[in-house]
Amino acid sequence: MRNLTGLLFAGGLGFMLLAIASGLDFGAPPMLVGGAIQAAAPQETGATNIVTSVVLGYRGIDTLGELSILFAAAASAGLVLGRRHTTAGTLTEGGFVLKHGGAMLFPLLLTIGFYIIFHGHLTPGGGFQGGVILAAAFFLPLLARPGARLHHGMLSVIEGFAGSSFILIGLAALSEGEAFLQPMLVQDALGQLVSAGTLPLLYLAVGLKVGAELAGLLSHLAQTESEV
């Protein structure tokens, strides 16, 4: 009986999705704001990556909300996971491939993470993606050598500094008489590394914050002891 109900539910859901999807015009958005932003964004924000100009320029306060949600999630996860650290030595070391592969990958991951963050206004990518890669770079050595610790105080300092500098850049725009988080100092250098005014700085703050937060969360998850 339960199987039959589940089957009926799945069938109904599939039928509904098909009915909705068949009525959609793929590739022809009914909203006009997308076209308007595509036409105006490179001149207004100086970023060649339109997604970045939307994420940090036109919808900057949404990104701030996203950052605070991420912060709340990481903080509550840290609260639930507690502080019970494993004593070093209960976990055996990683194998040869993991240890040396991790050591070799660390600088490469660091480079690609910062590359993605710094080129967020030029090419696809940005603070969130680069930040996750940075977190992975700092988590990899912990897998190879379980006794190693991340400096949690340092991570908190980086995270707080990045988060507050995001807000400070927004307030700086406010003090100049513009809207909160409005892009400023837009140079006339479309496509250059140093262009798009404050957008790369905002993305650097986002990347550092996301990276520090996720690295702290992962190391917490890996190094705290379970109850059993």
Binding site for other proteins (CB under 8 A): 49, 51, 90-92, 94-95, 98, 116, 124-126, 128-129, 132-133, 135-136, 139, 143, 146, 214, 218, 221-222, 224, 226, 228
In terms of CB distance, is 64 or 135 closer to other proteins?
135
Render 131-142 in DSSP notation, one character per residue: HHHHHHHHHHHH
In terms of CB distance, is 129 or 165 closer to other proteins?
129
In terms of CB distance, is 46 or 125 closer to other proteins?
125
In terms of CB distance, is 135 or 173 closer to other proteins?
135
* 35-72 per-residue burial string, b: 16 or more CB within 10 A, e: under 16: eebeeebbeebbbbbbebbbbbbbebeebbeebeebbe
Q: How many CA atoms lie within 13 A of 193 on its CB side?
A: 4
Q: What's the min distance (Å) between Cβ of 190 and other proteins?
A: 19
Residue 201 has a CB neighbour count (10 Å cut-off) of 16
Return the beta strands (E) in the chain as ranges: none
109 token code pair = 């991951």
Q: What's the min distance (Å) between Cβ of 84 and other proteins?
A: 11
In terms of CB distance, is 118 or 139 closer to other proteins?
139
Q: What's the min distance (Å) between Cβ of 92 and other proteins?
A: 5
SS3 224: strand
Q: What's the min distance (Å) between Cβ of 139 and other proteins?
A: 8
